[in-house]
Amino acid sequence: MSDNHGAEVIAPVWDAWGPAEVAGRLAGVDARWYVAGGWALDLFLGERTRPHDDLEIGVAAADFDTVRAALAGPRTHALSERAWWASPAR
């Protein structure tokens, strides 16, 4: 495949969610969150500018546990200034 700063990049084994998927999964969840990263730029521009292999969201620290519980089913990763969590593989 292609080379990225000396590291081999391989095709993902999943279909990444888009912003609409996360919005649907968090509908009705009382928490503050936002789309970040590449998808945020595409939403700002009003068009998809490239393929996305992942989706980053930001969550208010006070709402982190609520959002994490709402997204607990699929394989997710979470990072904060204090810790890193990965949901169990299925």
Number of domains observed in the structure of the chain: 1
Q: DSSP H helical segments within the chain, as ranges?
A: 19-25, 37-45, 64-70
Q: Specify if 76 maps to a domain.
A: yes
Taking 70 as the threshold, does the pLDDT of residue 67 lie above it? yes
Q: Which residue has the tokens 């979470």?
A: 78
72: left (phi over 0), alpha (psi -120 to 50) or beta: alpha
Is residue 11 one of the residues assigned to a domain? no
User: Who wins on pLDDT, 49 or 81?
Assistant: 49
Domain that holds residue 51: 17-86
pLDDT at 30: 96
Q: Which residue has the higher pLDDT, 67 or 90?
A: 67
Q: 8 lies in a domain?
A: no
The model's pTM is 0.69
- Report pLDDT for 2: 45
* Residue 86 predicted with pLDDT over 70: no
